[in-house]
Amino acid sequence: MSLPVRKTNAKVQQVIKDLKEITAHPIDASKVHIENPIGYVQVPVGLAGPLRVWETSAAGEECEEVYAPLATTEAALVASCCRGCKAFNRSGGIHIVALYDAMAKQGIPSIHPSAYQGEVHKHLKLTGE
């Protein structure tokens, strides 16, 4: 084992030594889909939704109501997300267009029709987002 790897392992062991409640459970690395897993915690899960999602694809337009399980310890987060879903639903829901089937690390937003692109660009420029 190289010196940098030994130093890193020693640092990790130092950081997690007092996290016995988290690290006490064995981890099957083949089933954990995060970087640097060290353990598990029990977190309350609430259900937000429904959110009406319209998808336009080559097969046509399809609507689905989706729910999102949210793991959080923050009070009122699930209720806040439910209110957001309700606001989106009142305005017709979320509309997405599948341009092609692929995987990416980040979402790539696309605004249609093109008439709205200028408005969105102007808003982002004004707000600094």
Q: What percent of the chain has a predicted confidence (pLDDT) above 70?
A: 78
Summarize pLDDT for 21-61 with one digit per residue, the tens: 888 877 777 787 888 788 888 889 999 999 999 988 778 88
Per-residue HEC secondary structure of the chain comes to CCHHHHHHHHHHHHHHCCCHHHHCCCCCCCCCCCCCCCCCCCCCEEEEEEEEEEEEECCEEEEEEEEEEEECCCCCHHHHHHHHHHHHHHCCCEEEECCCCCCCCCCCCCCCCCHHHHHHHHHHHHHCC
pTM of the predicted model, to two decimals?
0.57
Q: Are 99 and 82 in contact (CB under 8 A)?
A: no
Summarize pLDDT for 51-70 with one digit per residue, the tens: 999 988 778 889 999 999 99
Domain boundaries along the sequence of the chain? 1-42, 43-105
